[in-house]
A and B are shown apart, each in its own frame.
Chain A
Amino acid sequence: GAVVSQHPSRVICKSGTSVKIECRSLDFQATTMFWYRQFPKQSLMLMATSNEGSKATYEQGVEKDKFLINHASLTLSTLTVTSAHPEDSSFYICSASQGARDTIYFGEGSWLTVV
């Protein structure tokens, strides 16, 4: 199947700093990418949908100024957690689709710990 890669897989940052997570589609061009957050023992929660070259669409309750999403190319989307706080510590997962009706593939996930 298609490969979606995230980097870093684990990151620890200090409270108040910003951290960037990258999501790359390695063998296909992704017109649409999705970002999820998952707390322990819970399901994935969709944060936002990003389409290449346009602004991301955020789900209700997700702060767009705190979780900055950039989808500047067909193979790369980034999620920047700004002014991170301990409550932002979570497992962040991206997914990508070649087209609106194509199967969505997920990255390996990125663990963020804010201390």
Chain B
Amino acid sequence: DAKTTQPNSMESNEEEPVHLPCNHSTISGTDYIHWYRQLPSQGPEYVIHGLTSNVNNRMASLAIAEDRKSSTLILHRATLRDAAVYYCILRGDSGTYKYIFGTGTRLKVLA
């Protein structure tokens, strides 16, 4: 399973945009990039996913590098409720399609 690398923690001020990076240099051509976030004592919550093109939804935007070796989750206006651990996960197109979690990025939002 391809691995991802994320910074352990990041801080952001409330109401400001946040860019959460993820490196996945060993990504294969059929791996989808998925982002989840986990609030304390809760299961992970789906945020967004993409393959090659940038993606937008009501929660966030996903910017994928042209070589697909990195991606960035963008929260356009951070709120206190966005404080969570954000996981970037690759999901392959073969095998059991299971998710292997890395350490994630703990986002702290400052009021």
Contacts and interface: CB of A to CB of B under 8 A. Distances in A.
Interface residues of A, number: 27
Report, as a range, how many residues of chain B touch the other chain: 20 to 34
Nearest to B36: A106
By DSSP majority rule, is chain B's interface helix, strand, loop, or mixed? loop
Contacts of A104: 34, 46, 91, 99
A1 B57 CA distance: 13
A44 B44 contact: yes
Interface string B34-53: 10100001111110010000
Contacts of A46: 98-101
Contacts of B49: 103
Contacts, number: 55
Contacts of B45: 106
B43 A109 contact: yes
A32 interface: yes
A107 B99 contact: no
Interface in A65-115: 91, 93-95, 97, 100-101, 103-109, 111
B66 to A, nearest CB: 24
Interface string B16-56: 00000000000000000010100001111110010000000
B98 A34 contact: yes
A100 B98 CA distance: 9
Contact of A108 (B34, B43, B104): B43
Interface of B: 34, 36, 41-46, 49, 87, 91, 93, 96-104
4 closest cross-chain pairs (CB), A and B: A106-B43, A44-B101, A106-B44, A43-B101
